[in-house]
Amino acid sequence: MIGYRIHVRAVPLALTVALALGCFAASSAVAGHMSDWTHDHSKKGIPPRPSGLAGLIDVFGQRCSDKATNARSWWPHADPNDGSGAYVEYHTYLARTIGYNVRNHINAAHKDGALYPGIGSYNCRLIAGTSSWSVHSWGAAVDTNWQRNFRGQTFWNGRGADGIDHGTYIPDVWRGGYPGHRFFWGLNWSNPDPMHFQYVTNY
């Protein structure tokens, strides 16, 4: 992959030209094969995953803070209203593993069509009926394809926005060990939540 980078001492004309060149180069790169891209399995790429509420606070800090929204990536089909693309915001602790590992993985495998509305991460809310805060309040969980995988459903519906059944492709990228990315899948809970993937266990 080769990209064109512009040091911004450039004049506007140069910027325009460079942008055009960049567009061409980047388009070619995006159209490449999975082999063009590798997981970041460094410790920063897949950081330690906390356990329990105290561990969650220790790693991610206070809930509903700006740190929980300070990283973002662009996800097609994310908007639950019309299926258009939307930003997903999450904690900077997960910047590499969500932004690079998971999002890039799906994109590099040409599987964006496996996504389905809605998709989101940061959401400052109490869990319904409890005094416990949702892991989304720390930007440490992602709900994906929720319009086909609502809470309480006991299975994963893998049909994506492209109308194809992708099986458990999307959960497989998020969950567990290699080649997943260590997110805990809510389908494992006794009150199943198939849309839900979180970077903490025992909470």
* Token duo for residue 110: 């040409």
77 binds other proteins (CB under 8 A): no
Cα torsion 146, 149, 153, 156: sign: negative
Decide whether 37 or 161 has the Cβ nearer to other proteins. Answer: 37
Contact status, residue 49 vs residue 56, Cβ threshold 8 Å = no
157 binds other proteins (CB under 8 A): no
Binding other proteins (rule: CB under 8 A), the pick from 77, 115, 116, 129 is 129
Binding other proteins (rule: CB under 8 A), the pick from 77, 126, 160, 161 is 126
Q: How far is CA 175 from CA 63, 109, 127, 168, in A?
A: 23, 17, 22, 10
CB of 119 to other proteins, least distance (A): 11
82 binds other proteins (CB under 8 A): no
Task: Please tell me the distance from the alpha carbon of residue 145 to that of residue 74, in angstroms, as a whole number.
Answer: 15
164 binds other proteins (CB under 8 A): no
182 binds other proteins (CB under 8 A): yes
Pairing of strands 71-75, 141-143: unpaired
Site for other proteins in 10-49 (CB under 8 A): 10-12, 14-16, 18-19, 22-23, 25-27, 29-30, 34-49
Tell me the residue type at 175. R
Decide whether 35 or 163 has the Cβ nearer to other proteins. Answer: 35
HSE-up of residue 6 (Cα within 13 Å, Cβ side): 16
66 binds other proteins (CB under 8 A): yes
CB of 195 to other proteins, least distance (A): 7
